[in-house]
Amino acid sequence: MKIKGTFLDEISHDIPHQNWGRKEWDQDFAYMKQVGINTVILIRSGYRKWLTYPSEILLEREKAYQPPVDLVQMFLELSEKHQMDFYFGLYDSGKYWEKGDFQKELDLNKLVIDEVWSKYGTMNAFKGWYISQECSRKTGAIIDMYRGLGEHCKSASGNLTTLISPYIDGVKNISQYNNETSRDLGVSLKKHEQDWDEIFDGIKDAIDIVAFQDGHIEFDELDDFLRVNKQLADKYGIRSWTNSETFDRDMPIKFLPIKWEKLLMKLEAAQRVGMEQAITFEFSHFMSPQSAYLQAGHLYNRYQEYLAALKG
């Protein structure tokens, strides 16, 4: 199992910003390419008032802050230079859908989708869409919102690929603002299966790929949950990737690069259940040789050794 894609976390929400410019990003894309990454996914194009591109829609309607650099344009240009596929992450209001107004989140993002496609849709690297509103359970009108967003992405762009990356409501589903690293009870395997059976049934024609985050459950639960995820996706004709997180949820400091042994366990579990490929959140902070975290470069070295062993 190899990591073929990574999220780009440029709306820093709970991870420190690295203050990179084009030179540093260009180098990072080169590091990604060296270990076989061929897909980059913008984690979100905006969060609340912070934006990655100068969206007239969001500047006006959400009173967002004017960004000094058009990062979407830059990422698309670097994707073309390094021959990578780029997936555009939608806008997360951080409020409407979280407060139950799923329709407002949907309507606002339809305008964003149209705006983005008109601005960047001719660029060759633009290969798909990432629906950035993450969920773990059948909450509110999440099915209607996912289906509406996926359908609009497809209709606007000539049926480009759509991706979601939900999480499992496991024992490690703890707020980043909480000092704890785990809780007593997580969702049961049966309840998780029931929820996602219903969700997939409702979104099967609008979402092409699902990549569940793998960090919210214990390591000895990985095979069971990943197998259920794969079986459900197969049932509804949705492709299965795994989002193999490269940060450690077991540490009191949130968040640091993961121990290689843990990442290896997660990749091997994904291989055992037949996942198509792995992506990660995320290379630049937790795996890059030029990350602000020194241990990220060591993780890169261990991953290179792993790739070499697979070839051998």
pLDDT at 271: 98
Tokens of 285: 């902070």
Q: Residues 122, 86: contact at Cβ < 8 Å? A: no
Q: Of 300, 18, 152, which is closest to residue 144 (Cα–Cα)?
A: 152
- DSSP H/E element including 34: helix 22-34
Q: Nearest 5°: CA angle at 241, between 238 and 246? A: 155
How far is 192 from 218, CA to CA, in rounded Å? 15
Tell me the Ramachandran region of residue 222: left when phi exceeds 0, alpha when psi lies from -120 to 50, beta otherwise.
alpha
Q: Spell out the domains of the chain, with CATH numbers in brackets.
A: 3-311 (3.20.20.80)
The predicted model scores a pTM of 0.95
E-assigned strand segments in the chain: 3-8, 39-42, 46-47, 50-51, 85-89, 91-92, 126-130, 161-164, 209-213, 239-243, 247-248, 256-257, 277-280
How far is 102 from 106, CA to CA, in rounded Å? 6
Q: Which segments of the chain have a pLDDT < 50?
A: 183
SS3 content of the chain, % helix, strand, coil (to 5): 45, 15, 40
Task: Count Cβ atoms within 10 A of the Cβ of residue 23 and give its class: 0-12 exposed, 13-18 middle, 19 or more buried.
Answer: exposed
pLDDT at 259: 97
pLDDT at 173: 66
Whether omega for the bond prior to residue 282 falls within 30 degrees of 0, making it cis, is yes
Tokens of 206: 């609008």
